[in-house]
Structure 1
Amino acid sequence: MSSIARKNKRRAAFKCAKQGIAPAQAIAVSAAREIQATKAATTETMEVLLQAMALVAAHDYGKLNAKDKRLAVLAEQLYKRSVQVKTHQMDDAENETCQRFAGAVMEIWEVKEKKSHGKD
């Protein structure tokens, strides 16, 4: 262990002792905070991607016709639409499309999940 690592370990132990908590408890609190932040970021990312997919499927589907560049066009359009979603630049029709798509996805996934877990 390097001298810097030992110094940081002592500093952390001193702070914990000063606050009257065990180092393990401080680590658990920090880990829980990081897990919450990661979950929130993941949820937000999934929502943006789901809405972007809905917009691409509804408005940019024709751009995906060229088989040789379909994946590149899809990636580009998903990025463009995700920026549109994140900056809240959607009109009412686009918002409605996103809501309908999300509802359909959730409905289908719920049915498939129940079947895959044997809960018909």
Structure 2
Amino acid sequence: MTTNTRKGIITFSISDKGALYSSYMSFVQNGGLFIPTSRNYNLGDEVFILLKVMEDTSFTPVVGNVSWITPAGAQGNKVPGIGIQFAADDKGATRTSIEQYLGAAINRERPVQTM
């Protein structure tokens, strides 16, 4: 999993199913992803992501809003970062794509980056 953050744009690449599972936020409307970052964001900030998941050959542009913040020094040694809720304009395309990659793993009860 790699992250490159520039002002306004986050490039995020997930190369394996375990990392995708721990980053995916199925519990938010439209789905979302937790993205490790030390950069400061506020809840509701609009974020532009260039996302590459596993076998994707190119980056897909995704728009969302910050719906979760794990600050540096959080309890339980959680990784600092932000949870991005995918925009409604996405019409579920990113959520569907991620859930297809995860398959049956989506129903497992394993720890994730957020909850």
TM-score, shorter chain, exceeding 0.5: no
Larger relative helix fraction: 1
Q: TM-score, normalised by structure 1?
A: 0.22
Q: Which has the larger radius of gyration?
A: 1
* Structure with bigger RCO (C-alpha 8 Å, 6+ apart): 2
* TM-score, length of structure 2 as denominator length: 0.22
